[in-house]
Amino acid sequence: MGNSELVLYLGEDWNKVKALLQEVLHSDVELLDNINTGLLQHSGKMLRPMLTICMARAANGGVTNDDVLRNAASVEILHNATLLHDDVADNAPTRRGIPTVMSELGPVPAVLVGDFWLARAVGLISSSKHLGWALSEYARTLTDLAEGEMLQQEKAFKADTTVEDYLRIIHCKTASLFMTACRTGVRSVDGSDELLDAAGRFGRALGMAFQIRDDVLDYSGGDQIGKPVGIDLREQKITLPLLGALAQSPREKEIRKMIQDIPEHPEYCEKIHNFVLESGGVEYAGRKLEAFEAEALDALEAFPASRGREVLAFLVNNNSNRRK
């Protein structure tokens, strides 16, 4: 199943979500509207709204409603708002292969556009039939995102990230929003508490596997991942492939000191990169990735057999093979 087949399966729901995004993000401020239009034109895979729709269908016999579509659009808007802010924090020059708002216009416009997108996401869920629940769900996710970013910043300064720290960071920064995407899909069609719990477990496990795959590609992905390979190291981020290599090496203290010294010695990045590849770090991360994918597939067993469940399983199985 390719992306075109996925879009065909999502059908009119997908077209409605894309139209809703364009409608909600329109502004009569020309600069803002031009930026929003450009971002929508380079919106990537839009995996999170796909999960919302597929989860709703898996929980409700293939049927969706307007609440599902609003939440699908909201999680996509929220995701991109956080990317705009992340690009400021990371001083990122590109995103998805194109210049960031940060690099072209500076930090102030990037933050303000991100704020606009966050406000639009809140506006969309304000009409949810489960408003109180939805506000709590999105508030939890936004808290996780902020705490995850701050923890990652703290650990980058100290170069003392552990596996437990790493797992908490990627739960907060990636898996939390995957959980929200999946849980809101089930709640929007009034799915049972059992399915709501299973959707959360599925979303978390897939989100963890998704981020680990990204971190593996940062060491072995070539030029196909939408950002330069090795950028995590240049930002002094210790991710799972590096942690796996450190766990099997007597050079841990030396390597961690090199990471701290990267701003003064950027040439250390290549040395550490080679150390990870030679010390089995990528393979270590791959084993952890497979365990999370198995956890995601196990969570799907709570759902009745359906095309929606099949598509969700495909998204899990496709994760290990994706190149971007």
Determine, yes or no, domain membership for 324.
Answer: no
The answer to whether 257 and 272 are in contact (CB under 8 A) is no
- Count of structural domains within the chain: 1
Determine, yes or no, domain membership for 145.
Answer: yes
| Average pLDDT by stretches of 10, the chain with 324 residues | 82 96 97 96 92 98 95 97 92 88 96 97 93 96 96 91 97 98 98 98 98 94 56 91 94 95 94 95 96 98 96 94 78
Per residue in 219-269, pLDDT (tens digit) is: 987 554 444 567 889 889 999 999 999 998 999 999 999 999 999 999 999
Determine, yes or no, domain membership for 312.
Answer: yes
Would you list the DSSP string of 35-76? HHHHHHHT-TT-HHHHHHHHHHHHHTTT---HHHHHHHHHHH
Say how far apart CA 324 and CA 319 lie, in whole Å: 10
For residue 229, the model assigns a pLDDT of 62
Would you list the DSSP string of 67-97? HHHHHHHHHHHHHHHHHHHHHHHHT-SEETT
Say how far apart CA 290 and CA 81 lie, in whole Å: 29
Determine, yes or no, domain membership for 160.
Answer: yes
For residue 228, the model assigns a pLDDT of 56
For residue 226, the model assigns a pLDDT of 46
Which of 290, 300, 321, 305 lies closest to 51 in space, CA to CA? 300
Q: At 254, which CATH number?
A: 1.10.600.10
The domain in which residue 89 lies consists of 3-319
For residue 222, the model assigns a pLDDT of 58
For residue 322, the model assigns a pLDDT of 82
For residue 156, the model assigns a pLDDT of 87
Say how far apart CA 321 and CA 208 lie, in whole Å: 15
Say how far apart CA 212 and CA 285 lie, in whole Å: 7
The answer to whether 302 and 195 are in contact (CB under 8 A) is yes
Longest dimension (CA), the chain: 59
